[in-house]
Structure 1
Amino acid sequence: MRFGFVGSFGSVAQTVALAQEAEAHGWDGFFTWDGISVGELDTWDPWTLLGALAVSTERIRLGAMIFPLARRRPWKVARETVTVDHLSGGRLVLPVGLGAVDDGGFAGVSGETTSARGRAERLDDALAILERAWSGERFSYAGTHHTVTDLVFRPQPVQRPRIPVWAVGAWPSERSMGRAARWDGVIPQGRTGPVTPDDVRALVAWTDERRRALAAAEPERFLGDFDVVVEGVLPEGPDAAAAHARAYADAGATWWVESRWDAQRDTPETLLDRVRQGPPRL
């Protein structure tokens, strides 16, 4: 199992320093987040921040938890992803989902799609365009909401065959999980609460079966590893944290991403203290 950390609170300088500390203390990934207007929370542009993180770290995976592609132009995301992928030497991962409509970037502006169906359709269009753009070949695409004609994106990403995509999967929704199964990883979400190790065990079995069936038609698409990425807060104390993470690892999870969002408890200083403790030893 690999371990990531979300820089949920702090200034730009504090977030960059937190990522450097995460790398120095054995974490495998560092993630920012993608918001526009979330209450009064200090919020930074994720792509600008990821560019800074790419040139100030050397080893750890980088991304944002998560990118709501429904409110982004996929051709612009294609350019942003390739740039950060090259800046980082191939360390970018792209976690994606429908996004939260209470973000002012959805609910506080006109013209954005807020229905779950509309956001899902735009997400699927965006992923289809990104995959074609990352190929480096000339392409056109006609989707439900986006049509592009005769585009070429160069250079290709450092990573082949593509930048890894982790998609949020609402377990046990077949449609949502089916989208994730077509990509490179799933960030499972439970319908009534956090996913449990038993949930992970069941969704891993379901995903393995689905990917085997899909591979019969597109074998070249399903050759790589598939990540199962669990978000949460580990218990205090190294033994308790290790036992908690081990239960998910034994169930088939490949990543634990420490994601702390309690404004009453979590500050830039407490995040730094936690990062310096390092990830659990399994």
Structure 2
Amino acid sequence: MRHAVSVPCFGTGLDAALVADWAASAEAAGWDGFFLWDHLFAFAPGPVDVVDPWIALTAAACATRRIRLGTMVTPLPRRRPIVVARQTVTLDRLSQGRLVLGVGIGGGPFEWDYCGEQTEAVIRGEMLDEHLELLERLWTGEPVHHQGRHYRTAGPDWSAVCYPPPLQQPRIPIWVGGTWPGTRPFRRAARWDGVAPMRLDGGWEVADTAAVAARMASLRAASSPGTDTPYDIAVPGETQGDDPGRIERHAEHRDAGATWWVEAVHPWRYGWQEGRPWPLTAMRERIEAGP
């Protein structure tokens, strides 16, 4: 099992240079992955610094050599497929093939209802599915003529060519995020390269990891019988860097089927409340403590 950290793309005092510094610290501390949230606004009132995840990850790519980088997760229905194709391929090539694209339909009113975006979750799911299928075609570098329900890359005698293709083949790994124990996100995830589950009603347990692993094995067997391609299950969690018991906890999730442990390094785990300084030092210390 590999280990990653996941950090918000917002916080008082956070900028792209700090994200790059954290990524470099994570690499030096022995983490295998560094993932950044993808939000337009902070989960806190008042003026809070927010960075664009793709620019910040570009800075992180320039500051590192080994660690995998990506979003956890990007709500694709509010992004245009050709723009995403350009951004992901540019970052994948810059990082020498270290990009992971985490995706989801997004949630909450702030980045959807209040910004004039699609409000219906079912339609956003349709958009996500069409977006992913189109994105995979655009990544080939070949002409793509597409006229779908939600997206179009077609004109009179014209098709979109997004060249060059990414370094990673057959594609940049796609991990689909979803709230467990839902249904649709996991059916979607079975068609791609990994799943990043979460719970909204409590902490993530070993039993959850085992249940997700069983569900994904069943779904993948039904959709692609006879295939045994590698598949990632990236489970969330929080551990203390000075707790020797974390090694055993990681091992339990590994034995239950997890291939990645994603350490959630966010301010609320340190008791942050409105009006208090952002706990950047505590967040850095957890990253530097390593997996």
Same fold per TM (> 0.5)? yes
8 A Cα contact 1:142 1:148, kept in partner = yes
Q: Deviations over 1:85-143 (max 9, x none)?
A: 000000000001111224x3323222x01221122111112111111111122122233
Q: What is the letter of the counterpart of residue 191 of structure 2?
A: R
Q: Does residue 15 of structure 1 match 2:27?
A: no
Match of 1:36 among 19, 23, 40: 40
Q: Does residue 5 of structure 1 match 2:15?
A: no
CA–CA separation in structure 2 for the residues paired with 1:259 and 1:151: 38
Match of 1:204 among 209, 213, 223: 213
User: Could you tell me which residue of structure 1 aligns to residue 101 of structure 2?
Assistant: 94
TM-score when normalising by structure 1: 0.90
Match of 1:227 among 229, 232, 239: 232
Gapped regions of structure 2 (runs ≥ 5):
273-277
Q: What is the letter of the counterpart of residue 284 of structure 2?
A: L
User: Could you tell me which residue of structure 2 aligns to residue 148 of structure 1?
Assistant: 153
8 A Cα contact 1:68 1:99, kept in partner = yes
CA–CA separation in structure 1 for the residues paired with 2:212 and 2:41: 33
Distance 1:143 1:189, change over 3 A: farther
Match of 1:275 among 272, 276, 287: 287
Q: Does residue 108 of structure 1 match 2:137?
A: no
CA–CA separation in structure 2 for the residues paired with 1:262 and 1:114: 28
Q: CA deviation at 1:57?
A: 0.5
CA–CA separation in structure 1 for the residues paired with 2:33 and 2:19: 13
Q: Does residue 26 of structure 1 match 2:30?
A: yes
CA–CA separation in structure 2 for the residues paired with 1:259 and 1:109: 27
8 A Cα contact 2:103 2:176, kept in partner = yes
CA–CA separation in structure 1 for the residues paired with 2:181 and 2:41: 30
Q: CA deviation at 1:160?
A: 0.3
Q: CA deviation at 1:223?
A: 5.3
8 A Cα contact 1:169 1:189, kept in partner = yes
CA–CA separation in structure 1 for the residues paired with 2:182 and 2:147: 26
After alignment, is 186-195 or 137-146 more displaced?
186-195
TM-score when normalising by structure 2: 0.87
After alignment, is 126-135 or 34-43 more displaced?
34-43
- SS of equivalent residue, structure 1 residue 154: coil
Q: CA deviation at 1:151?
A: 1.2
Q: CA deviation at 1:65?
A: 1.4
Q: Deviations over 1:141-161 (max 9, x none)?
A: 233311222111111100000
8 A Cα contact 1:84 1:92, kept in partner = yes
8 A Cα contact 1:229 1:257, kept in partner = yes
User: Could you tell me which residue of structure 2 aligns to residue 175 of structure 1?
Assistant: 184
Q: Deviations over 1:179-221 (max 9, x none)?
A: 00100000112363344211221221221122122224xx7xx
User: Could you tell me which residue of structure 2 aligns to residue 193 of structure 1?
Assistant: 202
Q: What is the letter of the counterpart of residue 105 of structure 1?
A: E
CA–CA separation in structure 2 for the residues paired with 1:236 and 1:52: 26
Q: Does residue 79 of structure 1 match 2:86?
A: yes
8 A Cα contact 1:101 1:114, kept in partner = no
After alignment, is 166-175 or 74-83 more displaced?
166-175
Gapped regions of structure 1 (runs ≥ 5):
none
Give the superposed CA RMSD: 1.9
CA–CA separation in structure 1 for the residues paired with 2:287 and 2:86: 31
8 A Cα contact 2:175 2:194, kept in partner = yes
Q: What is the letter of the counterpart of residue 67 of structure 1?
A: T
Match of 1:123 among 106, 128, 136: 128
- SS of equivalent residue, structure 1 residue 156: coil
User: Could you tell me which residue of structure 2 aligns to residue 137 of structure 1?
Assistant: 142
Q: What is the letter of the counterpart of residue 178 of structure 1?
A: R
Q: Does residue 50 of structure 1 match 2:61?
A: no
Instruction: Give the % identical residues.
Output: 41
